[in-house]
Chains A and B, each alone.
Chain A
Amino acid sequence: MAEKPSSPAKRDAPGAPRPPDGSQRRDFLTRLGAIVVGAVAGLVPLGAAAFTFFDPLRKKPPEKLPPEWIAVAAANQVPDDGFPRRFEVVADLWDQWTFIPQQPIGAVFLIRNKGESKPTAFNVTCPHLGCAVVLAPDQRSFKCPCHNSAFDLQGVTTPDSPSPRAMDELETRISQNGQIEVKYENYYAGIKDKLAKR
């Protein structure tokens, strides 16, 4: 914090360095050299730091992505009464260096309407800002406890809902051994488009 300029008398003292007045070209080269050398010395570590810092933007190898189809419930756990039921999605999880086998990585609502063979699945993550949607107390709609986004049982946003899109529907199928399987995927929140986090 040397905001006080050093005594000005000293600057003009005999023997003190003076502004260069030698050959123009030599002077230019010295300045250029100082700038280039300084910039390289400064930018290399800065670049190395930034390079590693932006690692999350690199594409991850595909084996670290969650498996495509995940069994979440037995078919008879979801009767065709049109009532949403919540199930955890259990799969192997990578958290950087940690491998956690068979760990809940999210949850889905499964709804099977009268006469349907396989249920509809919704990711519980609110497409507004990523909280978890719950079944409203009246059990006739979904509601996000954070900013009051609301969705009907088809996952469609109600008019007074701040969410920019409907709940994220996931593909489902019934496996041969009678399990309901879901293609589990997470999506970016807050935008109109359903953009998968991959």
Chain B
Amino acid sequence: MIQGLLRWLDDRTGCQAFLREALYEHVPGGSRWRYVWGSTLVFAFVVQTITGLILWAAYSPSSNSAWESVYYIQNEMQGGFWLRGIHHFMAQAMVVLLALHLVQVVWDGAYKAPREVNLWLGLILMQIVLGLSLTGYLLPWDQKGYWATRVATNLMGLVPFVGKSLQDVVVGGKEYGHHTVTRFFALHAGILPALLVFFLVMHIAVFRRHGICAKQPIKRPDQTFWPDQVLKDGVACLAVLAVVLGLNWYFNGADLGAPADGAREYFARPEWYFLYLFQFLKLFEGMGETGELLGAIVIPGAVMGFLFLMPFVGRVRVGHYFNVAFLICVLFGVGVLTFLARWEDQHNVAYQNAVWEGEQNAKLAKKLATYGIPPEGMKLALRNNARALALRTLTETCLRCHTYVDENGHGWNLVETPPEKVGDRPSGGPSAPNLYNFGRRAWVEGLLNKEKIAGDHYFGRTPIKNRDGGMVKYITGTPEDPGFSATYKPEDIPKIAAALAAEGGFQTEDKEPIAAGRALLQNSSGCAMCHEFHGDGSLIGTAPNLTGWGSREWIAGMISNPSHQNYYGHLSANEQTMPAFSASARSANKVPLHPEVIKALAEWLRGEW
């Protein structure tokens, strides 16, 4: 019955012959693992098509809804984390697989006559895949994609004669906006995939015409594609998929930065597989327009052009070995440049700070998005948001003097620039305490540590360091006057820290050390020589008031006016380095901070959002 049906269908379509043609391809010398790369690429493309279509079903291409819809896919939709993750990491896997496929083809000499055209078709396919990567990078419309695309499209503008027009057409105008997204989306989801299918069909057709380029000499009996090679291909595809899923798990999903904002600078970096081009451009410093043309267009174009000419080079004696050596050198150069780009960034404090700032902004945008995104989009919603303004104040003002660095050195660092001339003083560097963990036990324990208080993380760069009778001299002590260690034992420090952390509401358990610490803080031959702590108020104005230390109100008050009696009012004018930020205390020609922003800053420092 079923056989009859199949025969009926086959009579009218010829599907059996087609299937046989597809499956019983002749594989001289039998199946081999080195033949799997083409199949894995087809597999990757199929995966991209499937995941991409479903992403499309939820994506909204416009400058005020692209980020928003991607946020929604990633964080709200069922399985969106994995769907976008597979699409994101499979795209990267595809680039790696392309490189492997190319190496295998060149190594095995599979580009030589009569397979020249197939090499060219493959190289065109490579360009299309790289185009898909480039366009896909922008679609989330986050800071990373936006700024990288600005660079990429400006490079397009360098093309002689038609560059400017080309740039305008791709960008959809002079400025980046709705039409940049719609055009990139049309390229990414329509035009480029259609071209890819067109060239892929030809690539496979030509491949089948010439058959597999078997590894010589043939030692094993021939086989057919089905089932031996199909099994190997299947295993390879499964391995690729496993790696992709593993990457998504390891990196905790595809990244989504803060929404794109052209008025908010960002350290543009391309996706990792374009980093070598990025680094290559840096080599042409001081050469102006010519250098750029060379680095961005002429030399990469010449390398690509040479790959197209490989079949002809391969005809002459040792030509094949030259081709292989050339490809290996190119890949080695790519590797070195990629490594250099990474290495430079890892040692670039400003870049690391910007990355940290970007993370903070992205975190805030995602947090605010959970309350619902207004119709005008997240960028504008962030614009006047007190928390967003607080983050901006933090990096533009607070972190000019303060640092914010965790135990691993991650965060916002300030480094000293060595003096240019003899006699100059070094510039930059921190001049105020590290704000990381402020108000918590660890911060206090470091403050009360005689090794640390005069260091860069505390008061080592402030005028207070040298103040007679001040905190730094009290903690470090001298042989004549041991200071802190005369009154307190080392085991008292955790108790004092617990009691102070409790003031800010951080340390609510462990009642015992808190109570003990409170008593220690009120010791009138110790802390309570200077600091007020739940006392009668007689010590206000001799040192910062520790009552409520580290609470939101305490920090907000400190930011508002550090010269207030509750804080550092006892210091002389030239010892008071931190300016006031509230409207009432700020000097006349400086813009004060809105109370909501000060409150948001205090909350951020306390890790409340």
Which A positions have Cβ atoms within 8 angstroms of B? 1, 3-4, 53-54, 56-57, 60, 76-77, 79, 88-89, 95-98, 100, 103-107, 124, 128-132, 134, 137-140, 143, 145-148, 159-165, 186, 188-192, 195, 197-198
Tell me whether B63 and A95 are in contact (CB under 8 A): yes
Nearest Cβ in chain B — how far from A101, in angstroms?
11
Please give me the residue from chain A that is nearest to B17 by CB atom: A4
Tell me whether B169 and A54 are in contact (CB under 8 A): yes
- Given A53-B169, A138-B427, is A164 in contact with B178 using a C-beta cutoff of 8 Å? no
Complex Cα distance, B427 from A189, in Å, reads: 32
- Determine the chain A residues whose CB is within 8 A of the CB of B155 once the complex forms: 129, 190
Nearest Cβ in chain B — how far from A54, in angstroms?
6
Tell me whether B265 and A132 are in contact (CB under 8 A): yes
Nearest Cβ in chain B — how far from A137, in angstroms?
5
Question: Does any Cβ of A come within 8 Å of B179's Cβ?
Answer: yes
* Residue in A1, A79, A146, A197 whose beta carbon sits within 8 Å of that of B268 in the complex: A146
Tell me whether A129 and B285 are in contact (CB under 8 A): no
Tell me whether A192 and B288 are in contact (CB under 8 A): yes
- Determine the chain B residues whose CB is within 8 A of the CB of A103 once the complex forms: 380, 383
- Determine the chain A residues whose CB is within 8 A of the CB of B281 once the complex forms: 129, 147, 162
- Determine the chain B residues whose CB is within 8 A of the CB of A159 once the complex forms: 286
Q: Which of B169, B292, B420 neighbours the largest number of chain A CB atoms within 10 Å of its CB?
A: B292
Tell me whether A95 and B175 are in contact (CB under 8 A): yes
- Determine the chain A residues whose CB is within 8 A of the CB of B288 once the complex forms: 163-165, 192
Question: Does any Cβ of A come within 8 Å of B282's Cβ?
Answer: yes
* Residue in A60, A95, A190, A198 whose beta carbon sits within 8 Å of that of B158 in the complex: A190
Complex Cα distance, B151 from A128, in Å, reads: 9
- Determine the chain A residues whose CB is within 8 A of the CB of B278 once the complex forms: 146-147
- Determine the chain B residues whose CB is within 8 A of the CB of A131 once the complex forms: 147, 150-151, 265-268
- Determine the chain A residues whose CB is within 8 A of the CB of B282 once the complex forms: 147-148, 162
Please give me the residue from chain A that is nearest to B201 by CB atom: A1
* Residue in B179, B289, B349, B350 whose beta carbon sits within 8 Å of that of A96 in the complex: B179
Complex Cα distance, B427 from A138, in Å, reads: 6
Tell me whether B178 and A190 are in contact (CB under 8 A): no
Nearest Cβ in chain B — how far from A159, in angstroms?
5
Question: Does any Cβ of A come within 8 Å of B529's Cβ?
Answer: no
Nearest Cβ in chain A — how far from B317, in angstroms?
35
- Determine the chain B residues whose CB is within 8 A of the CB of A140 once the complex forms: 420, 427
Tell me whether A139 and B173 are in contact (CB under 8 A): no
Tell me whether A129 and B171 are in contact (CB under 8 A): no
Tell me whether A96 and B177 are in contact (CB under 8 A): yes
Which 10 pairs show the lowest CB-CB distances between chains A and B? A132-B265, A104-B263, A95-B177, A138-B417, A164-B288, A164-B289, A189-B154, A197-B174, A145-B267, A130-B154
Please give me the residue from chain A that is nearest to B588 by CB atom: A76
Tell me whether A56 and B169 are in contact (CB under 8 A): yes
Nearest Cβ in chain A — how far from B384, in angstroms?
11
Complex Cα distance, B158 from A191, in Å, reads: 7
* Residue in B173, B178, B262, B427 whose beta carbon sits within 8 Å of that of A106 in the complex: B262
- Given A57-B169, A95-B63, A130-B150, is A162 in contact with B286 using a C-beta cutoff of 8 Å? yes
Residue pairs across A and B with Cβ atoms less than 8 A apart, 13 shown, are: A57-B165, A95-B178, A96-B172, A96-B173, A98-B177, A130-B150, A140-B420, A145-B267, A145-B351, A147-B278, A161-B286, A162-B287, A192-B288
Tell me whether B154 and A198 are in contact (CB under 8 A): no
Residues from 240 to 266 in B contacting A, C-beta threshold 8 Å: 261-266
Tell me whether B292 and A190 are in contact (CB under 8 A): yes
- Given A76-B589, A190-B154, A197-B174, is A148 in contact with B285 using a C-beta cutoff of 8 Å? yes
- Determine the chain A residues whose CB is within 8 A of the CB of B350 once the complex forms: 134, 137, 143, 145
Question: Does any Cβ of A come within 8 Å of B79's Cβ?
Answer: no
- Judged by DSSP, the binding face of A is loop
- Given A98-B178, A148-B282, is A129 in contact with B154 using a C-beta cutoff of 8 Å? yes
Question: Does any Cβ of A come within 8 Å of B410's Cβ?
Answer: no
Residues from 141 to 186 in B contacting A, C-beta threshold 8 Å: 147, 150-151, 154-155, 157-158, 164-165, 167-169, 171-175, 177-179
Please give me the residue from chain B that is nearest to A124 by CB atom: B265
Nearest Cβ in chain B — how far from A119, in angstroms?
15
Complex Cα distance, B278 from A191, in Å, reads: 18
- Determine the chain A residues whose CB is within 8 A of the CB of B168 once the complex forms: 56-57
- Determine the chain A residues whose CB is within 8 A of the CB of B266 once the complex forms: 131-132
Nearest Cβ in chain A — how far from B151, in angstroms?
5
Nearest Cβ in chain B — how far from A48, in angstroms?
16
- Determine the chain B residues whose CB is within 8 A of the CB of A146 once the complex forms: 151, 267-269, 278
Complex Cα distance, B380 from A103, in Å, reads: 9
Complex Cα distance, B339 from A74, in Å, reads: 46
Extra inter-chain contacts (10) besides given A98-B63, A130-B150, A131-B147, CB under 8 Å: A54-B169, A88-B263, A106-B262, A128-B292, A145-B267, A145-B351, A164-B289, A189-B154, A189-B157, A191-B157
- Determine the chain A residues whose CB is within 8 A of the CB of B169 once the complex forms: 53-54, 56-57
* Residue in B175, B284, B351, B420 whose beta carbon sits within 8 Å of that of A162 in the complex: B284
Q: Which of A100, A145, A165, A192 neighbours the largest number of chain B CB atoms within 10 Å of its CB?
A: A145
Question: Does any Cβ of A come within 8 Å of B415's Cβ?
Answer: yes
Nearest Cβ in chain A — how far from B441, in angstroms?
32
* Residue in A54, A130, A188, A195 whose beta carbon sits within 8 Å of that of B151 in the complex: A130
Tell me whether A56 and B179 are in contact (CB under 8 A): yes
Tell me whether A138 and B428 are in contact (CB under 8 A): yes
Complex Cα distance, B17 from A145, in Å, reads: 60
Residues from 302 to 352 in B contacting A, C-beta threshold 8 Å: 349-351
Question: Does any Cβ of A come within 8 Å of B209's Cβ?
Answer: yes
- Determine the chain A residues whose CB is within 8 A of the CB of B171 once the complex forms: 56
- Determine the chain B residues whose CB is within 8 A of the CB of A105 once the complex forms: 262-263
Nearest Cβ in chain B — how far from A120, in angstroms?
20
Complex Cα distance, B20 from A12, in Å, reads: 27
Question: Does any Cβ of A come within 8 Å of B511's Cβ?
Answer: no
Complex Cα distance, B589 from A163, in Å, reads: 36
* Residue in B154, B178, B262, B287 whose beta carbon sits within 8 Å of that of A97 in the complex: B178
Complex Cα distance, B167 from A186, in Å, reads: 14
Complex Cα distance, B591 from A3, in Å, reads: 74
- Given A97-B178, A106-B263, A197-B174, is A145 in contact with B289 using a C-beta cutoff of 8 Å? no
Complex Cα distance, B174 from A195, in Å, reads: 12
Complex Cα distance, B420 from A94, in Å, reads: 46
Complex Cα distance, B289 from A164, in Å, reads: 5
* Residue in A3, A53, A95, A186 whose beta carbon sits within 8 Å of that of B205 in the complex: A3
Complex Cα distance, B415 from A128, in Å, reads: 26
* Residue in A124, A145, A189 whose beta carbon sits within 8 Å of that of B354 in the complex: A145
Complex Cα distance, B286 from A39, in Å, reads: 51
Question: Does any Cβ of A come within 8 Å of B563's Cβ?
Answer: no
- Determine the chain B residues whose CB is within 8 A of the CB of A198 once the complex forms: 174
- Determine the chain A residues whose CB is within 8 A of the CB of B151 once the complex forms: 129-131, 146
Complex Cα distance, B428 from A54, in Å, reads: 49
Nearest Cβ in chain A — how far from B575, in angstroms?
23
- Determine the chain A residues whose CB is within 8 A of the CB of B268 once the complex forms: 131, 145-146
Complex Cα distance, B169 from A128, in Å, reads: 20
Nearest Cβ in chain A — how far from B264, in angstroms?
8
Please give me the residue from chain A that is nearest to B164 by CB atom: A188
Residues from 162 to 218 in B contacting A, C-beta threshold 8 Å: 164-165, 167-169, 171-175, 177-179, 201, 204-205, 208-209
